[in-house]
Amino acid sequence: MILGEIVAQALEARGLKVDRRLNLGGTFVCHNAVRAGELDLYPEYTGTAFTAILGQKPVSDPAAVRRAVERVYAGRWDLVWSPPLGFENTFALIVRRADAARWNLSKISDLAGREKEIRPGFGYEFIERQDGFPGLVRAYGLSFPLRPAEMDLGLLYPALESGKVDLIAGNSTDGLIAALDAVVLEDDRRYFPPYEAAFVVRGALLRSNPAVREALDRLGGSIDAAAMRRLNARVDRDKRRPEDVAREFLASKPRGRG
């Protein structure tokens, strides 16, 4: 929502009319929509595109993943990746701090042997995607006796905070991690692929409107992981509106940087 507002307002600042279609759902919905011309651009992550869309096995080289998605997206669908925004949004396995101390958890491999005690809860995509739960349990040799609870992404942190589940899969830039004083388990086997954030854009739009390319180029490198966590926290923790948070972010950028 925040990235959608940031790019929408950056485009509007250049006199372009923007039709917002935010909160559509996950990658599969947005990818199909941009291929069909129902969307012109949307924020995406290289690792998600590489594994979920291209069906590749996870790799840990960010540059190789970026090159692969750029090449295939351009050749197969005439879709272009904008310059990286400056942060990764990798999956993160998260537990309550008290449980991390009680079970001596600091990395994902520490979960082995605790599966009968720990109640996991994940979003639909994480449960179904090969770079999510299925591949995770193989990579770490985990064996949970019950299928993880499946819930809406917005319910994961409340469920963790209330004790309904003990382990969730969030994102590394989630503002609620610090707000709940939760612990992110280290991906010590480097299972999760790189998830560099960028916008996927219809090539026809870039060719017909140079102002779009200019806006996206100026957003490149402008949001590091710490900045994205702060923006997310203002929405998730402080209950600010995404459009207001995006407006303040763009106003804080140096003149000439978007």
- The confidence score (pLDDT) of residue 258 equals 42
pLDDT for residue 37 is more than 80: yes
For the purposes of burial, counting CB atoms within 10 Å of the CB of 93, is it exposed (0-12), middle (13-18) or buried (19 or more)?
buried
pLDDT for residue 40 is more than 70: yes
- Whole-model pTM over 0.85: no
User: What one-character DSSP code corresponds to residue 69?
Assistant: H
What is the band of 172 on the pLDDT scale with cuts at 50, 70, 90? Answer: confident
**195-208 per-position pLDDT tens digit:** 999 999 999 999 99
Distance CA 124, CA 135 (A): 15
pLDDT for residue 257 is more than 50: no
Mean pLDDT computed over every residue of the chain: 93
DSSP notation for 161-201? HHTS-SEEEEETT-THHHHTT-EEPB-TT--SPP-BEEEEE
pLDDT for residue 124 is more than 80: yes
Identify the weakest region by mean pLDDT among 12-16, 54-58, 98-102, 110-114: 54-58
| Helix, strand, coil percentages for the chain (3-state, nearest 5) | 45, 15, 40
Domains and their CATH numbers in the chain: 2-88+194-252 (3.40.190.10), 91-184 (3.40.190.120)
Closest CA to 223 of 191, 245, 244: 245
**Contact, 231 vs 175, CB < 8 A?**
yes
Number of H helices, E strands in the chain: 13, 8
- The confidence score (pLDDT) of residue 212 equals 97
**139-148 per-position pLDDT tens digit:** 999 999 989 9
- The confidence score (pLDDT) of residue 255 equals 55
What is the band of 256 on the pLDDT scale with cuts at 50, 70, 90? Answer: very low
* Mean pLDDT value across residues 209-223: 96
| Phi, psi of 103, rounded to the nearest 5 degrees | -100, 5
- The confidence score (pLDDT) of residue 17 equals 96
Identify the weakest region by mean pLDDT among 152-156, 195-199, 251-255: 251-255
Distance CA 79, CA 70 (A): 8
**32 vs 22, 44, 77, 128, 223, CA distance in Å?**
15, 13, 11, 18, 27
